[in-house]
Structure formats: structure tokens, C-alpha cells
A and B are shown apart, each in its own frame.
Chain A
Amino acid sequence: MSKLVIDNVSRIFPAVRGGTPTRALEPTNLSVADNDFVTILGPSGCGKSTLLRMVAGLDTPTTGRILLDGKAITGPGADRGMVFQSYTLFPWLTVSENISFGLRERGVSQRERNDIAKQWLEKVGLTSFANHFPKQLSGGMQQRTAIARALANDPKILLLDEPFGALDNQTRALMQELLLGIWERERKTVIFVTHDIEEAIFLASRTVVMSARPGRIKADIPVDLPHPRHYTIKTTPAFSDLKARLTEEIRVEAVLAAEAH
């Protein structure tokens, strides 16, 4: 059975001051299997973030419904962890306190919170920064903390909205490896939104390509590269073929999007 079912979901933003309503997302169907790593690839304005926000419960579909484990999503909740593109660590909490925010909200004891935070600090390599405030960290460290914060809550599904979009290329590559390493060990269900083709292939077991406004799913491509993946996989022929194919798909959309603006 599918973990997550997106059933005929669309989103139309109401008109602002006499303008026309914005059709951000055409009716969309998508199923995500348990333990799958799905990347959603598309140009800006294709509704991919809108779709992810609706899964998170931060936005409401205009039509259709979203089911997680067969239960309809009505609002945000701890079962769907989210990592945002902007840095959203709580600046008044230390790295360790940030990671245990969700646990504390659930009433987990201080001791257990510390234990779990410690484990996650280790997994993302930030043990020596446990008592730092977010402002003292680099962008990459902040996003690593944000990933740890979302996963420490043990959600059923992890949602990532261009989490490495603001990072430089080298840091971004390291972060991809770190995230993939965590996924290979923990086998969480993940939806990862990005506009970076290489990132979409490297991380995914399946890539969904979306078209420009109005957003809809254009292609659904399995990524059958073996695990565990090493960064050198990016230079293999199989990777290059996928990249060429996705580049073609996305280029048409990018051109259309550019013409529309």
C-alpha cells in the first residue's frame, strides 16, 4: 500500500485586487511508496513547493485530498517533518534544544530528549556545536540541524523544500551525501523538492518532473542507480543519461515559464 496518496489535488490562489486567480497546481495524482525517496523537480513557479506545503498541512488544497497511511491530512502535525529552504532554526534555542523541540512539545522527558538529541548531533556531525546558538553556525550547519530536528521527531514522512538551495555548490554536494547516507541507514519516506537536476537524480529512487504554470506532473522517472551511492556516481554513463533526459524535460518547461513572465 502506498504511504502517501495525493488524490486529484489542485490549488488555486484567489485573485488579488481585481486580478485573475492563480492556478498554482492543476489536479494532480501521485502515490509515494513506503521508504521511497521521491524528488520533485521543476522550474520556479511550477507549484512544487505548494504541493509540498499541502502535504505538510501548511496550505489547503482547493480540490482533492491527501492521505497519509490512509488518513486524510487536515493540518500540520508531527507525523510530517519538514525542512525549509529558509533557515528556520529557533534563534533563542541552542542546537541541541532545537533538535529536541518536537520531543519537548510531545512531553518526552528531559533525559530521553538529551539522549535523542545527542544521537542526532552525532549523525549530522555537530556534537561539538550542541550548545551553540543558530547564529553562530554556517548555513550548511543550520540546515543539518534542521534535518536532525525534523528527524528527531521520528516522522512518518520527511518533506524537504529546496533545503540546500541557499548553500554553495561544495557544501550542497556534501549535504546531499549526508542526507543520502542518513536515508540509506534509516529508510524514511522522503519527498524532496528541488530545481537542481543533478541533486534530483543523485538523491532519488524516483524523480517527478513538473511543468511550469499551471503546475502539473509531466514525467515520472524511476532512478535505478544502485545504493549505497557514492559521489563518483555523478560521472557514470547511467547518471549522465538520466541527466540528459531530465535536462530536456525541464528545459522545455523553463523556456515556457520564461515566456509566460
Chain B
Amino acid sequence: MKPLAPISSTARVVLGISFFVLFVAAWSYATFGGFVSKTFLANPWTMLQDGWFLLVKQGFLHDIGMTIWRVIGGFVLAALFAVPIGILMGAYKPIEAFLEPFVSFARYLPASAFIPLLILWAGIGELQKLLVIFIGSVFQLILMVAVSVGSVRRDLVEASLTLGARDAGVLKRVLIPSAAPEIAEILRLVLGWAWTYVIVAELIGSSSGIGHMIIDSQALLATGQIIFGIIVIGIIGLISDYAFKAANRRLFPWSII
């Protein structure tokens, strides 16, 4: 293998799939071969049966729908807040100086630690779940967006100034379009983190959602169901990731040519 040498797209797909195959093979070997007790780890076949049981008999699709809606709801709320604030912070140094220390502090507050407080404030309804995701992602988003806007190439800004751009023009026609692909990439990244928060939110005081199913299954020692739930999250993550990447390619053709 040569460093950084490109590979064909077929080879890329084959290699990518073969790791999944290897992974399931190792799992099958450990479980079917009797090396791991059924109590701790279900085998792939049991996992699929449990999954079928969940989908058909337990209305798991409803849980999946609830979880997706919470993630998207909380994340969109966070993005609506964070993107404009982040852009202003990146563009205007006084705003950055005003907000940056607090946001940096708030970023380190674990969202999960807020769950008891949020239950007190907002009950155990949907609002509380959305708020967990909101708190978990909003501060990260603000900081990352601010950094991306703040690091727009200086010479592009200078070029726009010599072409007669004024303050609002620099913001609207240079800083925002220049940072847009990176902002989209940041949204994709933080959406992945939002999935972690939603499951944590659903583990506590919830009556629906993938996280709720997982905590129920733990009580029943149904490891097959837990694993099925985890895999479903992974698949949804993979799909949303691909959708995001495809959308970015369409929206910003100039950045990848």
C-alpha cells in the first residue's frame, strides 16, 4: 500500500462492506460457538427474531418515529439559535468577546446532568426531551460556527472591500457564503452527537422511543432487543449522514470540484 494512493470506487464499497461482514462473523463465532453466555450477548439470529417481534408485535416503528422526531426537533431548534449567533460571533469581535467565555463554559456542562433539572422545569413530556438535545448541541454549534466564520480567508474579505463592499455586504456576500459549506459540515457532525443525547434523555422518565425500549429490554434481559435497537440507531445515523453529504454536494458544488 502506498500512502495516500487513491482506490477505485468498487474497491471502496467492497472493503467497506467486508468489515461489516467480518464484524458479524466474529459476533456469530463468539455467540454460536458458545464462548459468550446468552444472558450477556444474544446471537445475530436471536437479534433478528427479537427485532421482528419488536416491529410487528410491540409497535417499535412508533418508538423509532418518536426518537427521530425528538432528534430533529431538538436539533433544528438548536440550529435556528446557534447558526445566527455563531455567525455574528465569528464576524463581530465585540460580540465574540461578550459571548465566547460563557459559551465555552456552557459547552462543558454535560447535557445529561441537566435531565433531573429539566424534568423539574418541563416535566417528562416532549419539551423536556427536546431541551436535552437543545442544550447538548446548541453551545457546540455556536462555537464551531463562530470559528468557521472567523477563519474565512482575510484576502477574500480584503478583495471584497476593494470592490466596494460595505460592512453588511462583507457579512452577507463574503463571510456567510464562504463559511456555508463548513457550517453544513458542522451541522452534520453535531447531528450525530444529538443522537447520543436523545437516547440518554429517553433512558430516564420516558414512555416511548428507542432509548425507552432499550431500558425496558434491560429489565427483561433481552439483549437481542437492545442490540437491535442500537443497530437501528446506527442505520438511521448512516442514512442521515449520507443524506447530509448528498445535500452538501448539491448545495455547494464549488467547494468539491
CB <8 Å contact, B252 and A102: no
Q: Which of B161, B164, B255 contacts A58 (CB 8 A)?
A: B161
CB <8 Å contact, A84 and B159: yes
Residues of B within 8 A of A159 (CB): 162
Residues of A within 8 A of B153 (CB): 88
Q: How far is the CA of A82 from the CA of B162 in the complex (A)?
A: 6
CB <8 Å contact, B164 and A102: yes
Encoded as 1 (CB less than 8 Å from any B CB) or 0, chain A from 138 to 162 comes to 0000000010011001000001000
Residues of B within 8 A of A149 (CB): 163
Q: How far is the CA of A58 from the CA of B153 in the complex (A)?
A: 15
Q: Does A239 contact B (CB under 8 A)?
A: no
Q: Does B236 contact A (CB under 8 A)?
A: no
Residues of B within 8 A of A101 (CB): 160, 163, 165, 173
Q: How far is the CA of A105 from the CA of B158 in the complex (A)?
A: 14
CB <8 Å contact, A150 and B162: yes
| Most chain B beta carbons < 10 A, residue from A81, A105, A106, A133 | A105
B252 nearest CB neighbor, chain A only = A92
Encoded as 1 (CB less than 8 Å from any A CB) or 0, chain B from 166 to 188 comes to 10010001100110100000000
The interface stretch among A72-80, A171-179, A188-196 is A72-80
B256 nearest CB neighbor, chain A only = A135
Q: Which of B156, B159, B254 contacts A135 (CB 8 A)?
A: B254
Least distance between B173 CB and chain A CB atoms (Å): 7
Q: Does A212 contact B (CB under 8 A)?
A: no
| Most chain B beta carbons < 10 A, residue from A75, A86, A92, A93 | A92
Whether A91 contacts B164 in the complex (CB less than 8 A), given A84-B158, A84-B159, A105-B169, comes out as no
CB <8 Å contact, A105 and B155: no
Q: How far is the CA of A178 from the CA of B14 in the complex (A)?
A: 52
Whether A135 contacts B162 in the complex (CB less than 8 A), given A84-B155, A90-B174, comes out as no
Q: Which of A82, A104, A136 contacts B159 (CB 8 A)?
A: A82
Q: How far is the CA of A57 from the CA of B180 in the complex (A)?
A: 28
| Most chain A beta carbons < 10 A, residue from B162, B252, B253 | B162
Q: How far is the CA of A101 from the CA of B173 in the complex (A)?
A: 9
Contacts from A to B (Cβ < 8 Å): 56-58, 75-78, 80-82, 84, 86, 88, 90-93, 101-102, 104-106, 133-136, 146, 149-150, 153, 159
Besides A88-B155, A91-B178, 5 other CB < 8 A contacts? Answer: A90-B156, A92-B178, A105-B164, A105-B165, A134-B254
